[in-house]
Amino acid sequence: MAKKKFTVLDLLNLELSGHDALELRCIAGQRGLPRAITIPEINRPGLALSGFYDVFESSRIQVFGRGETAFLNKLHKEKSMDSLKTFFGGQVPCCVFTYSMEPPDEFRVMAENACCPVLQTSLGSAEFTNRLTRIFSNTFAPHQTLHGVLVEVYGIGILLSGHSGVGKSETALELVQRGHRLVADDIIDVRCVNGNMLLGRGANTIISHHMEVRGLGIINISSLYGVGAIRDQKEVQLIVQLEDWNSAKAYDRLGTEQKYMEFLGVNIPLIEIPVRPGRNLPIIIEAAAMNERLKNMGYNSAKDFNQNVLKWIESSDDAQNAYNDDDSY
């Protein structure tokens, strides 16, 4: 899947709040806002400002803290800003001044001429870098679009999959009525974060908390059941594949062999649940969620059952052997 271009303007327009807010504003170089950000990393341009460009990472966002800004002001007073021509000649995506610091007027002029956006934030350098790194880890993460329903059951993110009409939405609706939460219905955007965690959310955040129920139409889960019945995103920790009952297929009855499905290089536990009249799917999925939580805590019910059976067989054999030995006298 082709990656969508992420620009400086997209960075400014991110709707973030709380501990994720970047508090950015553009103070110069507005014509360069459509510039693409291709590398999700930052650079502190201290060496470049002193004239050393041998290892200058011009494709990264340039962050100016107190030290870099003080050095800029020193260059401005000494009228030694000519070295910045090389700085702006490298297609820098944008410059960010932390602590609400102001660049020298000559720096602004050079940025305007080079169409390089100059941004400002009230955050400190370390805090801004940490927040931007978190945002980039999600924005630039590999992603894939899936068809299904993503719900949170007892804290476990469960992706309900299966062919159209098998009952995914109806099952999810019953789970919501039982106090669990809907993340997204129909189209799920899954991102691989940190190389080992899949985060799922609605591909369209405006309609992600709406659900299509055949015979009823489109319903708004948050309006019907309240904001406590929804959440924006959730880690995909279990895949439940619903399929029509096939009497010729041998379904797992013990659970000793765990199946997995791979998405974006991450293996996610998979269970197959056959659907037929009379089966209470929401209760089965609740049990699967609690069983998955036990596995995450180090307890496997199927393996424990298997070990208990083996111990019982061994004890029965020992008892039988002892009985046979008594008969020999």
Task: Verify whether residue 131 is a known catalytic residue.
Answer: no
Q: 253, 276, 326, 327: which one is catalytic?
A: 253
Q: How far apart are CA 37 and CA 13, in angstroms?
A: 14
Q: How far apart are CA 24 and CA 107, in angstroms?
A: 19
β-pair type (266-275, 238-244): parallel
Would you say 151 and 229 are in contact if contact means Cβ atoms under 8 Å apart? no
Q: 35, 143, 168, 201: which one is catalytic?
A: 168
Show the CA angle centred on residue 164, arms to residues 160 and 170, nearest 5°: 55
Task: Verify whether residue 209 is a known catalytic residue.
Answer: no
Q: 60, 185, 186, 189: which one is catalytic?
A: 186
Task: Verify whether residue 304 is a known catalytic residue.
Answer: no
Task: Verify whether residue 168 is a known catalytic residue.
Answer: yes
Q: 85, 147, 178, 214: which one is catalytic?
A: 147
Q: How far apart are CA 293 and CA 296, in angstroms?
A: 5
Catalytic positions, please? 147, 168, 186, 253
